[in-house]
Chains A and B, each alone.
Chain A
Amino acid sequence: MESVYLALILMLSAFLGFELIAKVPSTLHTPLMSGANAISGITLIGAVLAAGSEHSGLGVWLGAGAVFFATINVVGGYVVTNRMLAMFKRKKSKDGQ
């Protein structure tokens, strides 16, 4: 792939990121952050490619370590975000007017 092409992707997705987040209410910042955090575990894909590669030796072990950490990031991130969001309920207070 050409660097120019990569730069284009980079620029567009950064712009998209800015646009998507700018108007989120502060009420949701914690789940938003932990949800985004889980997405940053995407490096898991790179880790899997490194850990399963035919090059043996150091690189593979580094990859395996990366898979371990990235999986914690991904699984933990999604589960904890879901747990938080499950608690947000929109309802009228029962005893109020």
Chain B
Amino acid sequence: MNQAIQWSYVLAALLFALGIKLLGSADTARRGNALSAVGMFLAVVITLFHHSIVDFRLIMVSVAVGSLVGGLAARRIAMTAMPEMVALFNGFGGIASLLVAWAEFTKHSSTSTVSTLAILFAVLIGGLTFTGSLVAFAKLSELKLGGIRLGKVIAFPGQKWFNAGLVLLCVGVVGMLLVSTGEVSSLFILLVGLSFLLGCSGVFPIGGADMPVVVALLNSCSGVAACATGIAIQNNILIVAGSLVGASGMILTRIMCRSMNRSLAHVLFSGFGGGLSSSSASTDGEVNPISAQDAYYVLEAARSVVVVPGYGLAVAQAQHTVKELATQLEALGCDVRYAIHPVAGRMPGHMNVLLAEADVPYDALAEMDDINPLLGGVDVCLVIGANDVVNPAAREDEGSPIYGMPIINVDNARNVIVCKRSMSTGFAGVQNPLFFKENTRMLFGDAKASLQELISEFKHA
């Protein structure tokens, strides 16, 4: 039977790799996800035949309750809340790895240094993934509610030193656990506590704007934790699947960082996006408000429109309204596309999911690098609830905190209409010179309400 289990793991590993590969293209992604689910099912079911499993009661109950909770949550969750959900699931993966490593530790008698080290590493990473994800979850959902307290940078003086001290302390405790031969359970509990603390204090100081990076990084961590657990309990499939996820999460993290022109260290340690005030941005000129009716005239005359959605659109749940407006425009023969910044929304690729939910065809979604060279020939750029990702200061103002971040160059279009609640700053806390440009018109108000007004203009015309 053990042989059969090992072979099923080989098959599962193949299915995971194939699944991830197929997830990379829109046409095959669903099949890829299904394949990887089959791999998981296979691996878990075959494992139940392992000779060391003597009691199935606890397993059955836990699996039943877990499936119920997970399945219900996944079905009920609104697409706008996807980042929170993924963060939370990440955290659960982390805590599961911690618990498995802990269970292994309790029956650990004859020790090799490698497996003990792996156990301790799994606990450390699993624990910080858990609390880090919970904090990320809290920050993300607080933002969604509109209260921004938690989403802001929460830090105290000397936080970096505190965190550095925590890390050193963890290393110290791990070292003591490795060499000590006596009773160590209290030290072990201390390590669990420290890992929890590290996750909290690591993510608390990171601002809402950087959450895409944090979610990607925690995703990677949950994989690394599973991988370490695999080394601890000497299980191949855990090592393979865990490191697959760990590596893919790392790549995504790097892509996110590059999209914001920041290093990972800068994201994690700078407390960016908090109290930074806007001193350097050039805000000469006047803000030109526009009424829905005038915006209608501009749009009606346009032959090509590029919609640039941002988090504000997600908050206002306006993705369906945008699609409706696009349908009206298309009926007039206008070409409508969507330009999506890699970090638009609160999670990489989040905006694409929201638009897909509203039935926007996949082909109409353009990536930043593809659409930027074409923007000069576009009649109207309709910016909805986006701010930092269209801020020309990133291109022009060397003093700006977001200088160097790749942006969608909407100011190159003939006309720009910005749907925005007020003149307040975005997550990065910097003023946006775009709003003061000559070809920019501001359509103030709730994104959804403004769009609905526009649509009714179209309908009455």
Which residues of A are interface residues toward B (Cβ below 8 A)? 1, 3, 6, 9-10, 13-18, 20-55, 57-97
Nearest 4 interchain pairs by C-beta: A71-B66, A17-B247, A29-B349, A76-B70
Chain A: CB-nearest residue to B215: A33
Within residues 107 to 121 of chain B, which ones have a CB less than 8 A from any CB in chain A? Answer: 107, 112, 114
State the CA gap A46–B112 with chains docked (Å).
19
Inter-chain contact A43/B362, CB cutoff 8 Å:
no
Chain A: CB-nearest residue to B129: A40
Inter-chain contact A9/B240, CB cutoff 8 Å:
yes
| Interface size bracket, B side | 35 or more
**What residues of A have a CB within 8 angstroms of the CB of B70 in the complex?**
71-77, 79
**What residues of A have a CB within 8 angstroms of the CB of B357 in the complex?**
87
**What residues of B have a CB within 8 angstroms of the CB of A46 in the complex?**
97, 100, 104, 229-230, 233, 235, 238
State the CA gap A60–B57 with chains docked (Å).
11
Classify the secondary structure of B's interface with A: helix
Which of B36, B59, B216 gathers most chain A CB within 10 Å?
Answer: B59
**Distance (Å) between the CB of B59 and the closest chain A CB?**
5
Any chain A CB within 8 A of the CB of B291? Answer: no
**What residues of B have a CB within 8 angstroms of the CB of A25 in the complex?**
24, 367
Inter-chain contact A20/B24, CB cutoff 8 Å:
yes
Chain A: CB-nearest residue to B5: A45
Known contacts A53-B52, A97-B333; is-contact A24 B363 (Cβ 8 Å): no
Which of B96, B240, B363, B364 gathers most chain A CB within 10 Å?
Answer: B96
Classify the secondary structure of A's interface with B: helix
Inter-chain contact A27/B333, CB cutoff 8 Å:
no
Which of A42, A78, A79, A90 gathers most chain B CB within 10 Å?
Answer: A42
Which residues of B are interface residues toward A (Cβ below 8 A)? 13, 16-17, 19-21, 23-27, 29-30, 32-34, 36-37, 40, 43-44, 47-48, 50, 52-56, 58-59, 61-63, 65-67, 69-71, 73-75, 77, 79, 82, 85-86, 89-90, 92-93, 95-97, 99-100, 102-104, 106-107, 112, 114, 215-216, 219, 222-223, 225-227, 229-231, 233-252, 255, 259, 327, 330-331, 333, 335-336, 340, 342, 347-350, 352-353, 356-357, 359, 361-365, 367
Inter-chain contact A48/B59, CB cutoff 8 Å:
yes
From B92, B239, B350, contact of A6 by CB (8 A):
B239
Known contacts A46-B230, A80-B77, A91-B361; is-contact A62 B103 (Cβ 8 Å): yes
Inter-chain contact A30/B96, CB cutoff 8 Å:
no
**Distance (Å) between the CB of B35 and the closest chain A CB?**
10
Inter-chain contact A62/B106, CB cutoff 8 Å:
yes
**Distance (Å) between the CB of A40 and the closest chain B CB?**
4
State the CA gap A34–B222 with chains docked (Å).
12
From A27, A59, A69, contact of B103 by CB (8 A):
A59
Q: Can you list 23 pairs linking A and B with CB atoms under 8 Å apart?
A: A17-B250, A20-B244, A25-B367, A36-B20, A36-B248, A37-B219, A38-B37, A39-B19, A40-B242, A41-B93, A42-B237, A47-B99, A51-B59, A52-B50, A52-B55, A58-B103, A61-B58, A63-B58, A67-B63, A69-B92, A85-B30, A93-B361, A96-B335
Known contacts A50-B100, A63-B103, A75-B67; is-contact A84 B353 (Cβ 8 Å): yes
State the CA gap A83–B71 with chains docked (Å).
11
Inter-chain contact A76/B248, CB cutoff 8 Å:
no
Inter-chain contact B244/A17, CB cutoff 8 Å:
yes
**What residues of B have a CB within 8 angstroms of the CB of A23 in the complex?**
24
Chain B: CB-nearest residue to A74: B40
From B55, B102, B216, B352, contact of A33 by CB (8 A):
B216
Inter-chain contact B26/A88, CB cutoff 8 Å:
yes
**What residues of A have a CB within 8 angstroms of the CB of B333 in the complex?**
97
**What residues of B have a CB within 8 angstroms of the CB of A92 in the complex?**
361, 363
State the CA gap A1–B111 with chains docked (Å).
14
From B44, B104, B240, contact of A50 by CB (8 A):
B104
**Distance (Å) between the CB of B414 and the closest chain A CB?**
20
Inter-chain contact A6/B243, CB cutoff 8 Å:
no
Chain A: CB-nearest residue to B79: A84
Inter-chain contact A49/B252, CB cutoff 8 Å:
no
New contact pairs (17) apart from A33-B347, A69-B92, A88-B356, CB-CB < 8 Å = A6-B234, A9-B240, A21-B247, A21-B252, A27-B362, A32-B29, A33-B216, A34-B86, A52-B48, A64-B58, A67-B96, A68-B62, A69-B99, A79-B71, A82-B37, A93-B336, A94-B330
